[in-house]
Chains A and B, each alone.
Chain A
Amino acid sequence: MSDAVITPPVAHAKPTTAALFMGFLSVGIIGFGGVLPLARQMVVEQRRWLSGSEFTDLLALCQFLPGGNAINLAAAVGLRFRGPLGACAALAGLMAAPVVIVILLGMVYARFQHEPLVRRLFAGLAAGAAGLLVALACKIAAPLWRRPVGAGVAVLCFVAIAALHWPLLPTMLVMAPLSVLVAWQLRA
């Protein structure tokens, strides 16, 4: 890919700090069940801040680094156009509505959590959320069927956390370098 493709189209002005805030605010408000597809729609298709390939490249970084993918993406897009202030504006925009909504939900929950009906509602919601997580785990595990060594690493990590209740940091400090080393040995 040449640099010409990944340079932003000159026809479009750099978004202002306020535009970054408003853009990510719109994503945060309607981002039920996953923000990333909406973020792509807003950044690439509606506001044309980035081309599709630029977005994909930034997203790869955001998925590679720790932290929420959408959160990292807001920081990266904001920084790119308006520096650290732009990053803060994008992050504040992304988080503002969800934080307010989640706190309101938390207040309602705290007020009514002992009502039998509300307890049953939340028991059902939690069971549903657990089901979504099971499905997510199945989806991301699927490519490992063709990678027995990778599948073995995944099983070890699963057992360490879910069965042995090891703390995450030491588990990760052992398993991640080991897994990268194995991937290096197996590289084609």
Chain B
Amino acid sequence: MTDTLLSLAGIFLRLSLLAFGGGNTVLPEMQREVVEVHRWMTATDFASLFALAQAAPGPNLMVATLIGFRVAGLPGALVATVGIIGPSSVLTMATVSVWHRFRDKPWRRVVQAGITPVTVGFVAATAAVIVKAADVNLALTAVTAVVAGLSLATRLHPLWLLGGGGLLGVLGAG
């Protein structure tokens, strides 16, 4: 149990500092650790937990709490949650006072311009990894395509689109 909690802490403390561009960039790494390295669950389970976290309110890193809970109950949820928010929060606090001084410096724009494409690539990889895990048949692939299309073409709230996906699953797509 202690070993599991330490493993969880190690994973999420590290992911916290790697999550450039927000929580979605680290999902493939999270899946690699949880599914391939530690074999705590299948890729399909991971996709389900991700969906569950998306259906809940709160920041989009709530999947960490769910994974911790799934792997080691309430202590696991606590360790994973503190792990994923801790290091990045401390870094933010350490940086916020000096940030203002650099706000108009040209290098800030250059670094931002350099990081953006990396973030885009990682988020696209996250989409690919989750699509691969979630879309186990043609009907579910169609659900993903329709939801993606509607999200791009309309201003529908994401919760409606998630709910629509769930409904289509119940009606037979799953």
Q: Which residues of A contact B (CB under 8 A)?
A: 28-35, 57-58, 60-72, 74-76, 79-80, 84, 87, 91, 94-95, 97-99, 101-103, 105-106, 109-110, 113, 117, 119-141, 143-144, 147, 150-158, 160-162, 165, 167-169, 172, 175-176, 179-184, 187
Judge whether A129 and B165 touch: CB under 8 Å. Answer: yes
Judge whether B140 and A33 touch: CB under 8 Å. Answer: no
Judge whether B147 and A135 touch: CB under 8 Å. Answer: yes
Judge whether A66 and B58 touch: CB under 8 Å. Answer: no
Judge whether A128 and B144 touch: CB under 8 Å. Answer: yes
Bound form: Cα–Cα A154–B25 in Å: 12
A-B contact count (CB 8 A): 379
The residue that A99 contacts in the complex, of B77, B106, B118, B143, with Cβ under 8 A, is B77
- Knowing that A128-B51, A160-B125 are A-B contacts, what are 4 other residue pairs whose CB atoms are under 8 Å apart, sorted by A's residue number? A129-B134, A131-B161, A157-B120, A187-B113
Interface SS majority for chain B: helix
Given contacts A68-B23, A123-B140, contact A141 B120 (CB under 8 A): yes
Chain B residue total in the interface (Cβ 8 A): 110
A-B contact pairs, 8 of them (CB 8 A): A33-B157, A68-B22, A69-B22, A76-B93, A99-B81, A122-B169, A153-B118, A157-B118
Which residues of B have CB within 8 Å of A80? 96
Which residues of B have CB within 8 Å of A58? 96
Counting CB contacts under 8 A, is B34 at the interface?
no
Which residues of B have CB within 8 Å of A179? 114-115, 117-118
Judge whether B112 and A64 touch: CB under 8 Å. Answer: yes
Which residues of A have CB within 8 Å of B130? 126, 129-130, 133
Within 8 A of A (CB), among B48-69: 48-62, 65-66, 69
